[in-house]
Amino acid sequence: MLNLVKYMSFKQYNQKQNFLLPPSYLDFLGESHRAVILSEFIDELNTVELVESYHNQSGGSSAYHPVMLLKILIYSYSNATFSSRKIAMKLKEDIAFMYLAGNNIPDFRTISRFRQEKTEFIESIFSQIVSKAQGMGFVALGNCSLDGTKIYANASMGKNYDELQLKNKIRGLIQQAEDIDALEDELYGDNEDDVDPELKTKAGREKRKQQIKNKESRSKQALHQMPESKKANSKRNTTDPDSRLMKMKRKDFANGYNVQNITENGFILSNYIDNSSSDQNTLIPTLKKLKDAFQSMPKRLLADKGYSTVKNYSFCKENSIDAYIPPHHESIDMAKYKYSKKDNTYTDWQGKIFFFKQNMSRSGVKSTVYQHIDNTNKKTYIYINHNWINHCKRQKKKLSTPQGKRIYKLRSHDVEGVFGNIKKNLKFTHYNLRGFKGVKTEWNLISIAHNICKLTTA
């Protein structure tokens, strides 16, 4: 065996080999690498406002270049790396990250701070990329799709409290602070010790107690601002107060956010984030946000029955949007009833007379209720909303045609395919940041990553 070794041929292997000239990361990656393409793509965008947001032209310590930090974050999200600590580690281990950073090594705090503080500029970059896709012919605001998905919040399930529980917890914290205050006064007075500097003086301890009381005041204010109907069954999470307990896609209950996307041809055009599990009230703000960004509404909007309300149908009609939204329940067939304006009654073909009962809201639809009582005291009801009836009639007619079926079929592989890529391929299922500001920033980053991948592979 030893004799064979001297006849075998291997390429040179020397881990301590020095380079005569400093190598370029581009030599290792090649011009077709995703990091190289992403870097070139970002360089073509307008980042002047982002750069000028630093205001350090008059001196002071130099900052890491924001375009470099932006590239690192977008590349991280396109590679399922979301933690600022993991990103900082990649800058020391991964050649692609080193290339994008230009040998800079910002720590995780710098990365985290940039991500949290530059929300509006990240959203501007997202809009620019959509405009670029529009200029390249991938987006035309023609057949657009709307759908939502639930994303887990960075919140502990064990930290959900109703109003009474929250009050009791805050009282306990205040009492605990007061007990510590009394004990430390007895043991130390104003002498030096090894406890928290804020607790070394009575003024510091008073400040700490006031901070806790302020937290109680803010919590009470938030609760009082809630509608009375929601206070009884509403819970607030102390780790992410903006998140809400909702039924997720896995059929489990957890704190999360309801993310809405408008897509076309597999590109995310606009997004809107809500903390309600229902989709009904998200269509209008999502469309308005799209119009604010591009001064235009889509020609057609394809959405599932979860968005079918009179308000949504009317909004689309008023804004010349050809909506394809199946009704969530069948409307009454008014051809089967004869109306008497004099008596305000409806009579069916069997001669049953339905008298006015009340106005009510049912499944998100405001209706006028009419009631018939037969000779056995059995009650039958009909629910009438003429706007809903007319919208349902139009939708049913439109969606039953071959062209309507073909158009509506585009929705499933468009918007649902986008969510599939983000969750399965990009592995984004949980937020790292908290609060509306944080989750909006993260969703814009993952949307940018998705759109750039689409553009650079098209």
Same domain? For 415 and 323 the reply is yes
Q: What is the pLDDT of residue 10?
A: 65
* Domain assignment of residue 204, yes or no: yes
- Return the residue matching tokens 């959203």: 123
- Residue at which a domain ends, from 384, 405, 426: 384
Per-residue pLDDT band for 401 (boundaries 50, 70, 90) equals: very high
| HSE of 333, CA atoms in CB hemisphere, 13 A | 5
Res. 199: pLDDT tops 60: no
For the chain, the C-alpha Rg in angstroms (whole number) is: 30
Q: For 174-185, what is each residue's pLDDT tens digit? A: 566 655 555 555
Query: Is residue 28 assigned to a domain?
Result: no
- In this structure, the answer to whether residues 257 and 354 fall within a common structural domain is no
In a domain, 90, yes or no: no
Q: At which residue do the structure tokens 């997720």 appear?
A: 248
**Residue 54: inside a domain, yes or no?**
no
Average pLDDT, the chain: 83
Predicted local distance difference test score (pLDDT) of residue 39: 92
- Is residue 72 included in any domain, yes or no? no
Q: What torsion do the CA atoms of 298, 302, 304, 306 make, to the nearest 10 degrees?
A: 20
- Based on the domain organization, do 409 and 353 belong to the same domain? no
Domain final residue, candidates 384, 409, 426: 384
User: Quick one: what percent of the chain has pLDDT higher than 70?
Assistant: 78
Amino acid at 436: F
Looking at residue 428, its pLDDT comes to 95
313 and 169 co-located in one domain: no
pTM as predicted: 0.77
Q: What is the mean pLDDT of residues 120-142?
A: 93
Residue pointed to by tokens 């001064």: 295
pLDDT of residue 226: 47
- Total of domains in the chain: 3
272 and 186, same domain (yes or no): no
Statement to judge: residues 431 and 306 lie in one domain: yes
Residue 192 has pLDDT above 50, yes or no: no
Do 247 and 318 have their domain in common? yes
pLDDT tens figures, 233-266:
467 787 888 998 888 877 788 899 999 999 999 9
Task: Based on the fold, state whether residues 172 and 312 are members of the same structural domain.
Answer: no
pLDDT band at 229 (very low <50, low <70, confident <90, very high): very low
- For 362, counting Cβ atoms within 10 Å of its Cβ (0-12 exposed, 13-18 middle, 19+ buried), the class is exposed
- Let me know whether 318 and 430 are in one domain: yes
Query: Which of 172, 199, 234 is where one domain is finished?
Result: 234
- Determine the pLDDT at residue 193: 46
d(CA 295, CA 174): 51
Tally Cβ neighbours within 10 Å of residue 109: 11
Task: Give the span between the Cα atoms of 307 and 148, in whole angstroms.
Answer: 10
**Cα distance between residue 93 and residue 85, in whole Å:** 13
Residue 340 located in a structural domain: yes
> What is the CATH classification number for the domain harbouring 314?
3.30.420.10
In a domain, 6, yes or no: no
Angle at 113 between CA 108 and CA 118, to 5 degrees: 135
DSSP string computed for 390-444: HHHHHHHHHHTSHHHHHHHHHHHHHHHHHHHIIIIIS---B-SS-HHHHHHHHHH
Question: What pLDDT shows up at residue 3?
Answer: 58
Please give the residue that has the higher pLDDT: either 303 or 385. 303
The two tokens of residue 415 are 């918007």
Are 362 and 344 contacting, i.e. CB atoms less than 8 angstroms apart? no
> Are 144 and 227 in the same domain?
no
Confidence of residue 169 (pLDDT cuts 50, 70, 90): low
Q: List, in sequence order, every residue forming a beta bridge with 150; answer none if it has no partner.
A: 258
The domain in which residue 378 lies consists of 334-384
Per-residue pLDDT at 223: 46
What's at 345, amino acid-wise?
A: T
Chain Cα centroid distance, residue 394? 32
Say how far apart CA 310 and CA 451 lie, in whole Å: 33
| Residue 230 pLDDT grade (very low, low, confident, very high; cuts 50, 70, 90) | very low
* pLDDT (tens digit per residue) in 317-358: 999 999 999 998 777 788 888 899 888 999 998 899 999 989
pLDDT digits (tens, 9 = 90+) for 277-321: 889 999 999 999 999 999 999 999 999 999 999 999 999 999 999
142 and 289 in a common domain: yes
Specify whether 253 is located in the same domain as 314: yes
The tally of CA atoms less than 13 A away on the side-chain side of residue 258 is 18
Task: Tell me which amino acid residue 243 is.
Answer: S
Whether 27 is covered by a domain: the verdict is no
Residue 167 has pLDDT above 60, yes or no: no
> What span, in angstroms and rounded, lies between the C-alpha atoms of 25 and 31?
10
* pLDDT of residue 172 exceeding 50: yes
pLDDT in tens, 421-453: 999 999 999 999 999 999 999 999 999 999 999
Q: 441 and 116 in contact (C-beta within 8 Å)? A: yes
Q: Which residue has the tokens 């980042």?
A: 47
Question: Tell me: the pLDDT tens digits for 206-228?
Answer: 776 676 666 556 555 554 554 44
